[in-house]
Every structure is written in structure tokens, then in C-alpha cells.
Structure 1
């Protein structure tokens, strides 16, 4: 249950890319809220589970999700800085001809393109991470079961060899 809830919180951060870069305060507000939600959820889950001295798979997944939220938050901050820096520069440049006017409109287009590339790259990394976690979640217990089955078979063969090689007791 906790895996799925952490997945939902983290995947909701990808929805912030639907907000235009011009509304950066909205993007940052939503991403920071999701980050705080994720940290609080991790804290609540840790309080409800028994205390152990090592990181569990759930801890690693939750920490990786918090790191992903931080990366998305930093990305939105950088895009916001670039956007407002370009808008600030464009307001002080008064275009005198058509080519300068097109040049002053270009930064917003390039920032939207950077934002779109960031969305595709972060979405790809997020999906790849989810697939790898899913495979690891099923592969690790399967590998352990196979190892235990081999050990059981080896122990059974050794036990049968001991029984077959032992001498019958005296008196029979």
C-alpha cells in the first residue's frame, strides 16, 4: 500500500509540467506541497512500522521519490529563473525592426522547449525507475526462493546418501 501511495504522490509531480512556465509560482507551490506530503508520509509510515537499524526497500523507494521531487523542484526553479530573466531582458529591449521583434519573442519559445525536453527526460527516467523497481521487487524474492530450493535439494540428497550409506543396526 505504501509503495502505491508514494508512487501516486511522486507521479503527481509530473502533472506540474502542464502548468505554463509563466506560472512558475504555481508550479513551485504544487511541487513543494508534494515534497512536504512525501516527507510527511514517509515519517508517518516509519512511525507505524517497527524500528530497525537498516534501510528497507520501502525506505530506499521513498527516499528516491523524495530526491525525484527535489530534482523536479530545482528544474522548475531553473526554468522560472530563465523565463523571468528573459522576460526582464525583453522588456528593456525595444525592437526597432522585425528581426529584433522575433528575437525578443524567441526566448519564451526556447524556454518552453527546454521545459518540454525536461518533461520528457524526467518522465522517461521516472518510468524507467518504476519498471526497474517492479522487476527488482519480483526478481529478488524469486532468486532467493531458487537458492533456497537448491539448498533444500542439496541437503535432501546429502541426507539420503547418509541414510543409504549407514550400516544397519546390530540385532536385526
Structure 2
């Protein structure tokens, strides 16, 4: 092979040859820590916000206080998660999940403000009953939001099982296959070395 310092072969029509070494590897984070300290805690914070619907719509100030407190908690926790992860130019799955959870909390804050304003405008702030029109609307919105929340999480769970976890299983299988190949090659080298050493010993004995 020609070195870069060998200029004697730099002639027209001469093709310089170089040796090439290609190395391939795969790397993955251990997801257990981020699952329990990231996904699960964000899930709990977002789920607790639905408990604000237990307060009647005429107590919207308490609803908004709960939702805003959990929203600030989620944002602070989001910053904590970001500090625990490396700075990269794309969003990870936990980043997307945290951002979606923040949007859910924002939607709940907006709805509590809307229902509180409607109840106040239509003079039902004091005499609001459980079978009133706005109370029924509030319950329907609660059912819709909870149903969407459950559907999204079920879809995410199915996707997580069939995409990231399947990739992790494939990586483990490739690791096992690679280690098996390495062990077989090492065993062959040992056998060849052992046979050559035995042959040399026999020749010495004959001599």
C-alpha cells in the first residue's frame, strides 16, 4: 500500500491505494431508570389533574389552582429530566411525552376557565345543581378527556412494545449471535494452536 508521504508514485494514471477499516457498533440507554423516574412520574402528575373535576364547576377557582400548580410542577420536572439527559438536537420519547402531558394540563386549565366563566355568566354560580345543564356538560367533557387520555396511553403502550422493545430484543439477539461467532473462532484458534504445538512436541521426541 502507498503512504501519503510517498510522492514517487504520484504519476498520471496511477491509482493510489489505501487500507480501510470499518467499525460498526450499536448503543442504547438503559430505559428502566428513565421509565420509572420520567414517564411514570409525569403520568402520575397528569393523571392527578383529572381529580379537579370532583370539584363542582362553580368552584372553578379551586380547579384552576390545582391545574396550574400541577402544570408548574410538570414544567419544573421537565427541566429536571432535560438536565439528566444529554444535549441533543432532536426530541427523545420522554421529551415528547412530557410536552404532550404539559399540553393536556393546559387544556384542562382552559376548560376550567371556560366552564367557570359560563357558570358565572348564566347566574348559576351559587345555585348550581348536579343535574343542571352546565354540570352535565362538564361531566361529558370529563368523560371525553379521560377516554382520549386512556386511548392515547394504550396506543403508546402498544407502539412501545412493538417498536422500541422489539428493537432492543433484536439488539440482544445480534449480541448473542456475535458472541457465539467470537467464541467459535476462539475455540478454533485454540484447537489449531493446540494441534500445532502437539505436532512440534512429537517432532522433538522423534529427534
TM-score, length-normalised on structure 2? 0.60
Q: Measured at CA, do residues 67 and 21 of structure 1 come closer, stay the same or move farther in structure 2, by a change above 3 Å?
A: same
State the alpha-carbon separation in 2 of the partners of residues 39 and 73 from structure 1.
14
Q: Measured at CA, do residues 50 and 73 of structure 1 come closer, stay the same or move farther in structure 2, by a change above 3 Å?
A: same
State the alpha-carbon separation in 2 of the partners of residues 45 and 145 from structure 1.
22
State the shift of 1:112 in Å: 0.2
Match status 1:54 vs 2:90: yes
Which stretches in structure 1 are left out of the alignment for 5+ residues? 92-103, 154-172
**Looking at both structures, which has the greater relative contact order when contacts are Cα pairs under 8 Å and sequence separation is at least 6?**
1
- Give me the CA root mean square deviation: 2.7
Match status 1:77 vs 2:113: yes
Counterpart contact for 2:46–2:105, Cα < 8 Å: yes
Q: Deviations over 1:96-117 (max 9, x none)?
A: xxxxxxxx979x8111011000
Q: Deviations over 1:68-116 (max 9, x none)?
A: 111111111110010000117x99xxxxxxxxxxxx979x811101100
Q: Measured at CA, do residues 23 and 122 of structure 1 come closer, stay the same or move farther in structure 2, by a change above 3 Å?
A: same
State the shift of 1:144 in Å: 3.1
More divergent stretch after superposition (42-51 vs 140-149): 140-149
Q: Measured at CA, do residues 51 and 123 of structure 1 come closer, stay the same or move farther in structure 2, by a change above 3 Å?
A: same
Which stretches in structure 2 are left out of the alignment for 5+ residues? 1-35, 178-207
State the alpha-carbon separation in 2 of the partners of residues 40 and 140 from structure 1.
29
State the alpha-carbon separation in 2 of the partners of residues 105 and 55 from structure 1.
45
TM-score, length-normalised on structure 1? 0.72
Match status 1:130 vs 2:153: yes
Spell out the pairing of 1:1-172 with structure 2 (5 A cutoff): 1=36, 2-87=38-123, 109-144=132-167
Counterpart contact for 2:67–2:105, Cα < 8 Å: yes
Which portions of structure 1, spanning 4 or more consecutive aligned residues, are displaced by more than 4 angstroms?
A: 145-150
State the alpha-carbon separation in 1 of the partners of residues 110 and 47 from structure 2.
16
